[in-house]
Amino acid sequence: MPETIELTSPSGTVKIRPDQKLSLFTTFRIGGPAQFMARVTDESQAEAALEWAEQMDLPVTSIGGGSNLLVDDAGIQGLVLAVRTTGKDAETRVRVEEDDHQVRIWVPAQMPISRLGHLSAERGWTGLVWCAGLPGVVGGAVVNNAGAHGGEMIDQLETIDVIRLADRKIESWPAEKLNAAYRYTVLKHAPRPRDVVVLGATFVLPRGDAEELVKQAKEFSAWRKQAQPTGACAGSVFTNPDGSYAGYLIDKAGLKGTTVGGVKISELHGNFMVNSGEATAEDVRQMIALIQDEVYRQFEVRLVPEIEQVGGK
């Protein structure tokens, strides 16, 4: 096995580690090894890692907080670039411009989305309080156009900053370029490995009442803990079909509690799968197919996976 490679950048050392277990970097706790992996915290570190990958002629796959993600049992070839840091460190990187009516905030991609919801509430900024309690980080939430409680990332998004893999050039994209829709952006459905990595996002938020917003944030977090499982899971597995809810249909089909290998449909919420500790990506794929077939057989509705599948030889 090759040894850890250390690269220099203006903001610190970047370590390229071989044969890293990706199950440790996803909320599902599933996935084979990354051929190489680098954890970076800012643009300069990302540039250093991408330059190395180009020199080694390796494809690059970026991941954020690891939610809404199913990594293949064979792992991921090339370099896996994880844009992440502690929530406390990410918060120090937030940039704010304020006036009497609204604020414009730039948030790093590695900022935990739940902390963003609570932070905006504490500051009296409306529009992102629904993020409170959600898993994952801002970069992944933007790519997936995450949402809850009637809100979506695209609602307050002004721009995103990305770094292009081809030439390591940093660009600012207007939100419209994402062509966002329900749990969709052009980035989410771009072929893997994608040709850009999200570095940060700018949101425009109206001012509101901080006391009321903090109350809402606490309620959203409490609701999520009561209504959704807290074990090793990836979040919602399927998008909601028009006029209904995936969890409702799975429940009505009698599938709650169903087990395939090491993965089980949550008894708490039908649109969640929980890893018992021994689940594989193949178990999850078989469970997805089973649910799709049974729900279609009973209700003639074809459920569409929301979870993103990556990796494989």
Q: What is the pLDDT of residues 291-300, one digit of tens each?
A: 999 999 999 9
Whether residue 235 lies inside any domain: the answer is: no
Domain that holds residue 55: 5-83
Local confidence band at 2 (pLDDT 50, 70, 90 cut-offs): low
Residue 205 shares a structural domain with residue 278: no
- How confident is the model at residue 100, as a pLDDT? 80
Residues 69 and 174 grouped into a single domain:
no
Q: Which of 83, 108, 139 is the last residue of a domain?
A: 83
User: Which of 136-140, 149-153, 295-299 reaches the highest mean pLDDT?
Assistant: 295-299
Query: What's the confidence (pLDDT) of residue 156?
Result: 96
- 18: pLDDT confidence band, cut at 50, 70 and 90? very high
Instruction: Tell me the per-residue pLDDT of 61-76, one tens digit each, with 9 for 90 and over.
Output: 999 888 889 999 999 9
| Average pLDDT rounded to a whole number, residues 192-197 | 84
Q: Is the pLDDT of residue 45 over 80?
A: yes
> Is the overall model pTM greater than 0.75, yes or no?
yes
Boundary residue ending a domain (61, 83, 105): 83
Within-domain flag for 233: no
Three-class HEC string of the chain: CCCCEEEEECCEEEEEEEEEEHHHHCCCCCCCEEEEEEEECCHHHHHHHHHHHHHCCCCEEEECCCCCEEECCCCEEEEEEEECCCHHHHHHCCEEEECCCEEEEEEECCCEHHHHHHHHHHHCECCCHHHCCCCCEHHHHHHHCCEECCEEHHHCEEEEEEEECCCCCEEEEEHHHHCCECCECCCCCCCCCCCEEEEEEEEEEEECCHHHHHHHHHHHHHHHHHHCCCCCCCCCCECCCCCCCHHHHHHHCCCCCCEECCEEECCCCCCCEEECCCCCHHHHHHHHHHHHHHHHHHHCCCCCECCEEECCC
Number of independent structural domains in the chain: 3
Same domain for 218 and 253? no
Residues 279 and 294 in one domain: yes
Same domain, 37 and 92: no
Specify the CATH number for the domain of residue 252: 3.90.78.10
Q: What is the distance between the alpha carbons of residues 254 and 265, in angstroms, rounded to a whole number? A: 11
Average pLDDT, the chain: 93
Using 50, 70 and 90 to split pLDDT, how confident is the model at 99?
confident
Question: Could you tell me if 139 and 159 lie in one domain?
Answer: yes
Known catalytic residues are 183, 236, 306
Q: Indicate the range of 56-60, 64-68, 74-78, 276-280 predicted with least confidence.
A: 64-68
User: Residue 26 pLDDT more than 90?
Assistant: yes
CATH of the domain at 173: 3.30.465.10
Give the model's confidence band at 282: pLDDT under 50 very low, under 70 low, under 90 confident, else very high.
Answer: very high
